[in-house]
Amino acid sequence: MPARIWYGVAAPPGTPDDLVAFLHARILRVMAQPETHRRFDEAGLHPATMPLDEYRAFLRADTETWGRVVRTGNIRIDSE
């Protein structure tokens, strides 16, 4: 099963939409700066941004995919 590593920013449930939109706009502004791109490139990372609705859909789909993998594989945490 192909897997990818990704990083994202999330706010707690119930965070007001206007605050989420404000934070999203600020993050997009930072991510668009050449210095930000340079630093990510130096770290071997390839950042991508997406609109909020796409990000939410991405999170739902990824959670469903990995939840299915865990259930199907009967994966458990080894507490020892």
Q: Give domain status of residue 3, yes or no.
A: no
Q: How far is residue 51's CA from residue 42's CA, in Å, rounded to a whole number?
A: 25
Q: What is the mean pLDDT of residues 8-35?
A: 95
Return the percentage of the chain with pLDDT > 90, whole number.
78
Q: Give domain status of residue 9, yes or no.
A: no
Q: Give domain status of residue 12, yes or no.
A: no
* Contact partners, residue 55, CB within 8 Å, separation at least 6: 8
Q: Give domain status of residue 63, yes or no.
A: yes
Give the burial string for 43-59 (b: 16+ CB within 10 Å, else e).
eeeeeeeeeeeeeeeee
Q: Give domain status of residue 50, yes or no.
A: yes
The total number of structural domains in the chain stands at: 1
Q: Give domain status of residue 31, yes or no.
A: yes
pLDDT in tens, 53-68: 999 999 999 999 999 9
Q: Give domain status of residue 46, yes or no.
A: yes
pLDDT in tens, 33-42: 999 999 999 9
Q: Which domain holds residue 34?
A: 17-71
